[in-house]
Amino acid sequence: MSAVIENHHDDHHHGPAKGITRWLYTTNHKDIGTLYLWFSFAMFLIGGAMAMVIRAELFQPGMQIVEPEFYNQMITLHGLIMIFGGVMPAFVGLANWLVPMMIGAPDMALPRMNNLSFWILPFAFFILLSSLFMEGGAPNFGWTFYAPLSTTYAPPSVTFFIFSVHIMGASSIMGAINVVVTIMNMRAPGVDLMKMPLFVWSWLITAYLLIAVMPVLAGAVTMMLMDIHFGTSFFNAAGGGDPVLFQHIFWFFGHPEVYIMILPAFGIVSHIIETFSRKQLFGYSSMVWAMLSIAILSFVVWAHHMFTVGLPLAAEIFFMWATMLIAVPTGVKVFNWVATMFRGSITFETPMLFAVAFVVLFTIGGLSGLMLAIVPADFQYHDTYFVVAHFHYVLVPGAIFSIMAAVYYWIPKWCGNMYDERLGKLHFWLSFVGVNVTFFPQHFIGLAGMPRRYPDYALQFADWNMVSSVGAFLFGFSQILFLFIVLKTVMGGKKATGQVWEGAKGLEWTVASPAPYHTFSTPPKID
Amino acid sequence: MFFRLLKNSKRNVLLPLIFLCASPMISADWFALNMTRGITDISNEVFELHMLIFWICVAIGAVVFSIMFYSMWAHTKEKNPVPATFHENHKLEIAWTIIPFLILIAMAVPASKTLVKIYDDEAGDINIQVTGYQWKWQYRYLEDEVSFFSNLSTDLDEIYNLVPKGENYLQEVDEMVVIPAGKKVRFLITANDVIHSWWMPAFAIKQDAIPGFVNTAWTVVDEPGIYRGKCTELCGKNHGFMPIVVKVVEQDEYDDWVYGKRQEAIKLAELTTKEWTTAELMERGEGIYEVNCVACHQTAGQGIAGIFPALAGSDIALNNKDRHIEILMEGVQGAAMNSFDYLSEVELAAVITYTRQAWGNAENGDGEIVVPKDIVDYKEPKI
């Protein structure tokens, strides 16, 4: 009996179910990874459409296409959807696909929870988006939802927002627990911690950050819920509460959160640079230690988002120095990537283009972050477009470029076909130009004095806002090309070999392309 | 700063295009690239810090990127078919940890020094309490007993592109904060409803205005002039429409201004005891409504469904004068409606009368008006 099953492994007992139930009931890490990736792509396009509304309104001074109330709903939903719907699920999708294959495990450790953690996400975003059609409109208090604007002064839909954040949080925590348990328990014999691929390391650290801070976010929104409906005054000064407490709690979640959105990118980029430089990563262990330091430091820098709330001098100085300290491990990572490329044998396929752009543009975002850490200068930068430019540089050509790089890099393994290299490069160059034309001028606009979250602005900001909008439309519409390239690759194309890339190393390249539905049912041999 | 920018507007190559787009503008600037140098000692120091950090970042970027670009150019597969095999070099790794650390200290030390100066806020010569409201600023001069609100004065038609935009579009107010040159002015910053943030770039002051807290900031401005700033914390729909304008004048002129403001206050007090007709109250009330109420309750009193209740046809505005007064005086617990007890008796009576008479409310309800004495009576028993 067992021999029969062994022989017909794929097409009988263990193959994917047919039809929609395959996706609804699946416990397969590859299917769930695919679901996460498509879901995040959909959210990326929805959040992107909102960005287009924002940039269209800011194309010129004056109110043209939307009212300020709706503009505030757009900035709020754009932020929430891109963070919780775009970047985070994309990384979870990549973790699902890659972590088991990279460590030689047959699947994630908790496959049913894996299914649950994905399938509650669409409901969370359905609830969030449905608030657009509610009386009083969608949440309009910014993705940072500072109380009391988000409590006493919020539209009624805030309750739905809170519920949806709770669901997203539950999904993230389940996903994170799954990753930790998988990595800790299911590594093939011989895959020691310090031999794990960097993407696995980056996700292990990210997962711990998620487990640590998502409950803090849940606490913050629960306190909001109590203030709104049950008569408490956590954040209401009139009732003896403290609006600044909200910001401390929020950023205690929020700062590790921004590293949650960048650490997996570090892992991805390390793999890609290594592969296309055809040279071993310069300093594996220093990369691991750098990620660990960044993660630990992320818990003691939160108040650098709050330099203007009136913190005592000692607190300002502590948070300034602690924040600047993060530049050290971040620098180590950048130097490592450069040293890996140095005297390598480099080719520039699409994933490498995205990875190189990541290093350059993420570094620019990091350097502007360093400027923002200087408290007296931050009094001028805070809440201006300089900040908007900074975090979009680390999130768009940072996190999102790394996700695109990952898609191009691993898609031949996922679906067995090579993507169209010419179109991939076109997509890269359009995105690269678009992203810089959009966000670089925002440094100027911010330094010249335009605050963020303004639906309309004084005339001296007009020129660069127009440029920024033009760039945004270019970047936005280029992503339709990305969708086309991905669909084209899924449907067909040149067949990929198992190895795919000449310089690629790691267990995922030892299996066939496309990767069989079940891989490493018996652990691989590691030398 | 703004006026300097105007001069450069001829260089704007897109200007004709912008005119075509039906949004006439008189200024814009491709050269507004950097932070503007401030006009106080502190804001100059902040500017210097900004430039120092900026150039350090440029230098770091230049070094890292030139090595990287060199390697992208010289170490391609074509030029260097056999990759090197080196990895890990403890000396190099220690160097690239220690050197950035030292650079950071070199940046953090002057920054900390400036910060200590900024935090040295002993009592000022003049103390002004700044209170953020949705969506305006109130200024109370604690020593001189002067108090007023400062609202955006840009016309709605400019915002909605019906008329050309003025040179101070969105940066002009109906009443400027006036401070004397050469004196230490301390701002005590707080808020009445949500969090706002009072930003005056020329003074390098940005302090959040938080309900229940009083933050302080100070400045000494030597150069008389008009300086423009903005609210920098998202505070609701008109966040972008509550600018700050400070006028710095010589001491004499300041004294005259204070005198004038006090005379105004005396006149206002006299108005309270005057006999008012409905038409007079209506006329005054309309202006007050447009400044204070229209943002939420809208021009025809229709409100915004689900968030801001309509006043036109509202039972309270039609038939319940006492509750109407009470709402304005106390606000509505748990809703965006705050107390407006900071308005004068005349202003309150006028705006209540206006909302009870306008939009057909007089015809549909009891049509009762409210006179300043009603407000005085409401306040009486509480004392």
Best residue in B93, B234, B307 to probe A by mutation, most A CBs within 10 Å?
B234
- pLDDT at residue A5, as a whole number: 42
Cβ contact, residue pair B213, A237, below 8 Å: yes
- pLDDT at residue A129, as a whole number: 97
CA distance A198 to chain B (A): 16
3-state secondary structure A430-497: HHHHHHHHHHHHHHHHHHHCCECCCCCCCHHHHHHHHHHHHHHHHHHHHHHHHHHHHHHHHHCCCECC
Among residues A372, A246, A247, A373, which one has the least CA distance to residue A318?
A373
Average pLDDT over residues A159-186: 97
Residues of chain A with Cβ-Cβ distance to B242 below 8 Å are: none
CB-CB contact of A384 with A446 (8 Å): yes
Cβ contact, residue pair A61, B23, below 8 Å: yes
CA distance B310 to chain A (A): 13
Question: Which H or E run includes B105?
Answer: helix B90-119
Domain A26-510 has CATH 3.40.630.40: no
Verify whether residue A171 is a known catalytic residue: yes
Residues of chain B with Cβ-Cβ distance to A382 below 8 Å are: 206, 232
Verify whether residue A478 is a known catalytic residue: no
CA distance B330 to chain A (A): 13
Best residue in A248, A393, A460 to probe B by mutation, most B CBs within 10 Å?
A460
CA distance B270 to chain A (A): 34
For residue range A49-73, list pLDDT tens digits in order.
Answer: 999 999 999 999 999 999 999 999 9
Mean residue pLDDT of chain A comes to 94
- pLDDT at residue B363, as a whole number: 86
Among candidates A72, A335, A346 on the partner chain, residue whose Cβ is nearest the Cβ of B77? A346
Cβ contact, residue pair A458, B45, below 8 Å: no
For residue range A271-328, list pLDDT tens digits in order.
Answer: 999 999 999 999 999 999 999 999 999 999 999 999 999 999 999 999 999 999 999 9
Q: Which residue of A has its CA nearest to B22?
A: A60
Cα–Cα–Cα angle for A324, B61, B29, nearest 5°?
95
Among candidates A61, A313, A374 on the partner chain, residue whose Cβ is nearest the Cβ of B169? A61
CB-CB contact of B27 with B7 (8 Å): no
d(C-alpha A143, C-alpha A151), whole Å: 14
Domains of chain B from N-terminus onward: 1-28 (no CATH), 41-119 (1.10.287.90), 126-267 (2.60.40.420), 275-382 (1.10.760.10)
Q: Could you say which of A29, A55, A78, A271 is catalytic?
A: A78
d(C-alpha A154, C-alpha A138), whole Å: 10
Cβ contact, residue pair B27, A459, below 8 Å: yes
Among residues A492, A486, A510, A493, which one has the least CA distance to residue A408?
A486
Phi, psi of B192 (to 5 degrees): -100, -25
Q: Could you say which of A30, A255, A271, A413 is catalytic?
A: A255
d(C-alpha B368, C-alpha B339), whole Å: 22
Structure tokens at A431: 């995105």
Its sign, for the CA torsion A187, A188, A189, A195, is negative
For residue range A102-141, list pLDDT tens digits in order.
Answer: 999 999 999 999 999 999 999 999 999 999 999 889 999 9
Verify whether residue A257 is a known catalytic residue: yes
Among candidates A134, A279, A383 on the partner chain, residue whose Cβ is nearest the Cβ of B83? A279
CA distances from B92 to A142, A259, A280, B58 (A): 44, 26, 17, 22
CA distance A494 to chain B (A): 23
Q: Could you say which of A23, A38, A119, A143 is catalytic?
A: A143
Please state which of the ranges A1-15, A76-90, A349-363 shows the lowest mean pLDDT.
A1-15
- pLDDT at residue B26, as a whole number: 43
For residue range A438-464, list pLDDT tens digits in order.
Answer: 999 999 999 999 999 999 999 999 999
Among residues A91, A246, A103, A259, which one has the least CA distance to residue A176?
A91
Q: Could you say which of A166, A187, A271, A305 is catalytic?
A: A305
- pLDDT at residue B381, as a whole number: 58
Amino acid at A120: I
d(C-alpha A330, C-alpha A396), whole Å: 18
Q: Which residue of B has its CA nearest to A247?
A: B195
d(C-alpha A210, C-alpha A215), whole Å: 9
Cβ contact, residue pair B215, A238, below 8 Å: no
Cβ contact, residue pair B32, A444, below 8 Å: yes
- pLDDT at residue B28, as a whole number: 53
pTM value is 0.88
Asked if pLDDT for residue A13 goes beyond 90, the answer is: no
- pLDDT at residue B238, as a whole number: 94
Verify whether residue A76 is a known catalytic residue: no
Among residues B313, B45, B228, B132, which one has the least CA distance to residue A458?
B228
CA distance A324 to chain B (A): 7
Verify whether residue A202 is a known catalytic residue: no
Instruction: Please give the DSSP secondary-structure letter assigned to residue A35.
Output: H
Best residue in A232, A301, A388, A463 to probe B by mutation, most B CBs within 10 Å?
A463
Q: Helix (H, G, I), strand (E, B), or coil: what is residue B244? A: strand
Verify whether residue A270 is a known catalytic residue: yes
Best residue in B31, B168, B307 to probe A by mutation, most A CBs within 10 Å?
B307
CB-CB contact of A345 with B76 (8 Å): yes
How would you list the strands of the sheet with B126-133, edge to edge? Answer: B146-150, B136-141, B126-133, B184-191, B215-220
Q: Which residue of B has its CA nearest to A330?
A: B97
Question: Which H or E run includes A203?
Answer: helix A198-229
Which neighbouring-strand residues pair with B187? Answer: B128, B217
DSSP codes of every residue in A408-436: HHHHHHHHSB---HHHHHHHHHHHHHHHH
Q: Could you say which of A31, A107, A316, A378 is catalytic?
A: A107
Q: Helix (H, G, I), strand (E, B), or coil: what is residue B258? A: helix
The ipTM (two decimal places) reads 0.91
Q: Could you say which of A323, A330, A384, A519 is catalytic?
A: A330
CB-CB contact of B49 with A376 (8 Å): yes
Among candidates B75, B194, B231 on the partner chain, residue whose Cβ is nearest the Cβ of A345? B75
Buried b (16+ CB within 10 A) or exposed e, A238-274: eeebbbbebbbbbbbbbbbbbbbbbbbbbbbbbbbbb
pLDDT tens per residue across all 383 residues of chain B:
333 333 344 344 444 344 444 444 444 567 778 898 889 999 999 999 999 999 999 999 999 999 999 999 999 999 999 999 888 899 999 999 999 999 999 999 999 999 999 998 777 889 999 999 999 999 999 998 899 999 999 988 999 999 999 999 999 999 999 999 999 999 999 999 999 999 999 999 999 999 999 999 999 999 999 999 999 999 999 999 999 999 999 999 999 999 999 988 888 777 777 788 888 888 888 889 988 888 889 888 888 887 888 888 888 888 888 888 888 888 887 777 888 888 888 888 889 999 888 888 888 888 788 888 888 888 775 44
Instruction: Please give the DSSP secondary-structure letter assigned to residue A522.
Output: S
CA distance A22 to chain B (A): 42
Cβ contact, residue pair B49, A61, below 8 Å: no
Verify whether residue A69 is a known catalytic residue: no
Q: pLDDT-based confidence at A10, cuts 50/70/90?
A: very low
In whole angstroms, how large is the CA radius of gyration of chain A?
A: 23
Please state which of the ranges A14-18, A79-83, A204-208, A452-456 shows the lowest mean pLDDT.
A14-18
